Amino acid sequence: MAKMEFKAESKKLLDMVINSIYSKREVFLRELVSNSSDAMDKIYYRALTDDQISFDQDNYYIKLVPNKDTRTLKVMDTGIGMTKEELESNLGTIARSGSFNFKNENEIKDGHDIIGQFGVGFYAAFMVADRVTVTTKSIDSDEAYQWQSQGSDGYEIKPVQKDEPGTEIVLEIKENTDEDNYDEFLEEYRLRQIVKKYSDFIRYPIKMDVTESKPKEGSEGEYEEVVSEQTINSMVPIWKKNKSELTDEDYENFYKEKHYGFDTPLKHLHINVDGSIRYNAILYIPENAPYNYYTREYEKGLELYSNGVLIMDKCADLLPDYFSFVKGMVDSEDLSLNISREMLQHDRQLKLIEKNINKKIKKELQSILRDDRDKYERFFKAFGQQLKFGVYSDYGANKEVLQDLLLFHSSKEKKLVTLEEYVSRMPEDQKYIYYAIGDSIDRIDKLPQTEMVAEKGYEILYFTDEIDEFAIKMLMNYKEKEFKSVSSGDLGIDEEENEEAKEKEEENKELFDAMKEVLAGKVKNVRASKRLKSHPVCLTAEGDISIEMEKVINAMPDNQQIQADKVLEINVDHEVFQSLKQSYEKDKDKLNLFTNLLYNQALLIEGLPINDPVEFTRDICKVMV
């Protein structure tokens, strides 16, 4: 029996398969099981057109036989088998796939599709085996043959005795090293684990002799080891079942079995699409955010299957970042897979699935918002911040998708409201959507800047998340209504009051100039306020950078420091203003004292640090004496 060499390019590819293409050694079993499934599918297709062949699915199965004593793992199937020519063609030339050729020659429309199309999957066995022996008999031949190889050195083919069609692959498992444990691929529990993860939904039974500890008959408290052949895969995936057959409990059990989360999902979506792109999906909207959700360590993505075989644990390309909280899986028959099942081409099919899934998720969230407000608010408490990040990121490219899913606390409703609800009840004379920013609802309630807007009867949205104002700045407007901070320079409310404030500012220009000089470098201006009613003082900002933005950006770890153009606004109708006027006319030192006190008071109201707390306490003492 002459030894045959792999072609030079095949040697290079084999080395890549063993060392580079697959990220996890365990996938070798997925590849071999998929090939066995294909071998049985081929008999099924032949039976459709060949009266000489009958197909009884009960006769077709895959069996795993680990043997620790001989350090071998056998993967056998009752499929179509291979002739000598097919052995040489399919296993002698790496990256040639008999399944791929078969798929091209047979148009498949009945829900059975070929899995092992990729031509290199078989060679993943060399990641865990020193030697691989394939014994096979074709349904079309009376002869059986054996293919054997130790890797890149080449292979041998010889005739052998085998009674029934099918294929047996024997892997001689490598010895352990300091870095790698190969024993795991001889352990029953580990093999079951790998099958459950990758091949649970192969349509044929995957069998294995399983050892279990059971009570010994006739004796109490004694146990014995019992070996029995068991089917270790589920075969029929939940997503292939009719929705009418399934209950909420079935979906919840699948959620827990797949370890998508430890909570009970708020909602599930079961999607079946059979059009220009064919796929099934089960998606979940969780109730709680994972502990690391808002960290860089969190990895988004859906499980991606190709014809029931898991090819990616987390396919990030199926979800945009703003819907990264969604858990679940997608199974498609139309994906283009390159070299190995882990190398997914970013092709038109994947983009179509992503686009369709995103529409489904948004529609489902809108449905929950409309029909079950309490449930949506629970969802928003966990993931609303992510939707706001989505509005802000990518320069607002996704704001149209997300704006109707946002909720903010309302000064009028005292609860969360949508932008649609806010705009629908705006008075005719109200020009803007007003908002106020603070660390909490209680603090915003007490902000001096809200007084005039509230007195007008206008609703105010309360922003308590750091991302809120950044998102709104990106959103710019909603239904042609611009957003306006209650701390902005021009509230656009009452021209009469504006004129009155301007007149008083002109009357007291010298006083305000003197105060501005005292606060040189701290504020851009000091002026009469048109927004304050009962409070004596507040800070507002001019320009694009608000005081809240200054606080958020300066607290970031990159040490970027910015400063808002602050304006100290004085309530000229407050009794404190009379003290300011008197001190300006009679005691400039006292004016300096009052000015610094009012400025520091305004800083405290905004939640900003006082530059010199010791000096501030001294100033208070001076007033008290």
Residue (of 27, 157, 137, 40) closest to 91 by Cα position: 157
Q: pLDDT tens for residues 562-618?
A: 888 999 999 999 999 999 999 988 898 999 999 999 999 999 998 888 988 999 999
- Give residue 596's pLDDT: 94
Q: How far apart are CA 622 and CA 583, in angstroms?
A: 14
- Give residue 111's pLDDT: 46
Residue 347 banded pLDDT, cuts 50, 70, 90: low
Is 198 or 217 the better-scoring residue by pLDDT? 198
Structure tokens at 125: 């066995």
- Give residue 97's pLDDT: 45
Mean pLDDT of 263-269: 94
Separation in Å, CA 267 to CA 288, 404, 558: 12, 19, 39
Q: pLDDT tens for residues 275-302?
A: 888 899 999 999 999 999 999 899 999 9
Q: What values do phi and psi take at 258, rounded to 5?
A: -85, 0
Q: How far apart are CA 117 and CA 108, in angstroms?
A: 13
Separation in Å, CA 160 to CA 61, 79, 84, 142, 163: 22, 18, 11, 11, 10
Is 40 or 19 the better-scoring residue by pLDDT? 40
Q: Which residue ranges make up the annotated binding site?
A: 31, 35, 77, 82, 90, 97-98, 117-122, 167, 341
Q: How far apart are CA 174 and CA 185, in angstroms?
A: 10
Burial tier of 53 (Cβ tally within 10 Å: 0-12, 13-18, 19+): middle
Q: How far apart are CA 41 and CA 140, in angstroms?
A: 15
Residue (of 485, 601, 492, 471) closest to 537 by Cα position: 601
Residue (of 509, 516, 496) closest to 456 by Cα position: 496
Q: pLDDT tens for residues 220-258?
A: 778 888 999 999 999 889 999 999 999 999 999 999 988
Residue 482 bridge partners (DSSP) = 477
Chain-centroid distance, C-alpha 352: 18
Is 273 or 119 the better-scoring residue by pLDDT? 273
pLDDT > 80? residue 400? yes
Q: pLDDT tens for residues 415-464?
A: 999 999 999 999 998 999 999 999 899 999 999 999 989 988 999 999 99
Residue 94 banded pLDDT, cuts 50, 70, 90: low
462 CB-near residues (< 8 Å, 6+ apart):
408, 409, 410, 411, 435, 436, 438, 441, 444
Q: What values do phi and psi take at 450, rounded to 5?
A: -85, -10
Q: How far apart are CA 128 and CA 149, in angstroms?
A: 13
- Give residue 100's pLDDT: 45
Q: How far apart are CA 389 and CA 254, in angstroms?
A: 30
Structure tokens at 485: 């901070």
β pairing state of 129-137 and 327-332: unpaired
Q: Maximum Cα–Cα distance for the chain, whole Å?
A: 119
Q: How far apart are CA 491 and CA 624, in angstroms?
A: 36
β pairing state of 144-149 and 155-160: antiparallel
Say which range, 234-248, 381-395, 500-514, has the weakest mean pLDDT.
500-514
Residue 265 banded pLDDT, cuts 50, 70, 90: very high
pLDDT > 50? residue 624? yes
Contact 279, 303 (CB under 8 A): no
**What percent helix, strand, coil does the chain show, rounded to 5?**
40, 20, 35
Is 127 or 220 the better-scoring residue by pLDDT? 127
Chain-centroid distance, C-alpha 276: 26
Burial state string for 474-483 with b = 16 or more CB within 10 A and e = fewer than 16: bbeebeeeeb
Q: pLDDT tens for residues 12-34?
A: 667 766 666 677 899 899 999 99
Contact 409, 437 (CB under 8 A): no
- Give residue 551's pLDDT: 84
Q: How far apart are CA 432 and CA 467, in angstroms?
A: 20
Q: How many CA atoms lie within 13 A of 27 on its CB side?
A: 21
Say which range, 91-100, 305-314, 463-472, 601-610, has the weakest mean pLDDT.
91-100
Q: How many CA atoms lie within 13 A of 526 on its CB side?
A: 26
Q: Which residue ranges make up the annotated binding site for ATP?
A: 31, 35, 77, 82, 90, 97-98, 117-122, 167, 341
